[in-house]
Amino acid sequence: MSPQRRIPLLLLLAAVAVAGCQGKPGQGADDQAADKTPAIPVETAEAQLGSISAAYSGTATLEARRETDVVARVGGVVEKLLAEEGDQVKAGQVLARLDDDQLALEVQQARASLGKLKQDFQRKQQLNKRKLISNADFETAKYDLAAQQAALQMAELKLKWTEIRAPFDGVVTERMIKVGNMVQANQQTFHIADFKPLIANVFVPETELARLQAGQPATLRVDALPDTRFQGSVERINPAVDPQSGTFKVVVRAEDPQHRLRPGMFARVRIVHDVRKDTLLIPRTAIVNEDGREYVFQVSDGVAHQVDVSLGLRDDRQVEVTRGLKAGATVVTVGQNSLRDGAAVAVAGNSGDSQSLAAQQGE
């Protein structure tokens, strides 16, 4: 192509390009960009009035309020077992019997000696009235009688101790002896625990000391029963802080009418220390935190507006809004990472479908 013909063609292409850039009559450059920017898919939720609570969460191992090793008070051979592991027992119930033949004979011997000393004392008492024996001889007889009475009581007590008894109501969690075993005095024979109630000793950082107090409600979850939430309450608080760990002990009582909890279970404990009712709530996923500033995207007429908010109590799912929103406001819960103030949005669903949209957007 000759140079004379190339120049008119270049002028024509330039004119077409300029016309294309002008767009529609009366439309500015920003409007043209908005027309070309697609609406961003988001999920939303509505700010609603409701109740929310603040709580401290910790872990603990469940313990019986009362548990002890039952020991033999006297030595002897185990003659009979009357309780097994897992048995419910009452205070004073006989758990085992030791061979008592020797101690029974000692009781008979002590009783016979006491009878003889009683006769001797009565005789010397009469002689003392008639001044036929010295006061010293009479006092000796009186002392011997009292000593033998005590010896008889001790022999009877040891005979009674051949019956090993439960010290309180509870459950036998361990049996340590068998029939025919020779046990010694103070030897452990059974372990008994009182499951009503079970307690959890939660060690809480000292920063929470001012928030927690006796009587506050609590909930407990255990791995063995993951779908069950057990109710409880703070029974007492140790006001002393351990200087080594910087924690203080909170005793939580677990309510378990069906007796499903067991000592030794690992529990997750949540102690509620503040409750707000009829307050404005939104999902926690709606909050954007940027350099210490917290805000949400409020949707109105298909456009997302950035709104600063002040927040109060929080739990696992919701957060209290104390300033910035009103009841009924629609806020973005999924997709806000792609938003800017004034961006056009397309509501793809409510917060209940968050997993599907998050997977779609790769969030």
pLDDT digits (tens, 9 = 90+) for 217-248: 999 999 999 999 999 999 999 999 999 999 99
Determine the average pLDDT of the residues in 58-80: 95
pLDDT-derived band of residue 4, with 50, 70 and 90 as boundaries? very low
In this predicted structure, what is the pLDDT of residue 51? 93
In this predicted structure, what is the pLDDT of residue 336? 87
Range of lowest pLDDT (48-52, 312-316, 331-335, 346-350): 346-350
> Is the pLDDT reported for residue 352 higher than 60?
no
Q: What mean pLDDT, rounded, does the chain reach?
A: 86
**For the chain, which residues make up each domain, given as ranges?**
37-50+277-361, 55-65+194-276, 100-161
Distance set, CA 16 to CA 5, 10, 32, 35, 82 (Å):
18, 10, 18, 21, 107
Contact 202, 250 (CB under 8 A): yes
Q: 37-50+277-361 sits in which CATH class? A: mainly beta
Residues in the chain: 363
In this predicted structure, what is the pLDDT of residue 348? 83
pTM of the model: 0.64
Please, what's the b/e burial string for 232-262 (b: 16 or more CB within 10 A of its CB; e: otherwise)?
bbbbebeeeeeeeeebbbbbbbbebeeeebb
Q: So what's the architecture of 100-161 in CATH?
A: Orthogonal Bundle (1.10)
Nearby residues of 119 by Cβ (< 8 Å), 6 or more positions away: none
For the stretch 180-225, pLDDT in tens is: 999 999 999 999 999 988 999 999 999 999 999 999 999 999 999 9
Domain 37-50+277-361 matches domain 100-161 at the CATH topology level: no
In this predicted structure, what is the pLDDT of residue 3? 46
pLDDT-derived band of residue 11, with 50, 70 and 90 as boundaries? very low
In 3D, which of 177, 243, 164, 196 has the Cα closest to residue 67?
Answer: 196
CATH of domain 55-65+194-276: 2.40.30.170
> Is the pLDDT reported for residue 23 higher than 80?
no
In this predicted structure, what is the pLDDT of residue 355? 40
In 3D, which of 251, 258, 253, 183 has the Cα closest to residue 219?
Answer: 253
> Is the pLDDT reported for residue 24 higher than 80?
no
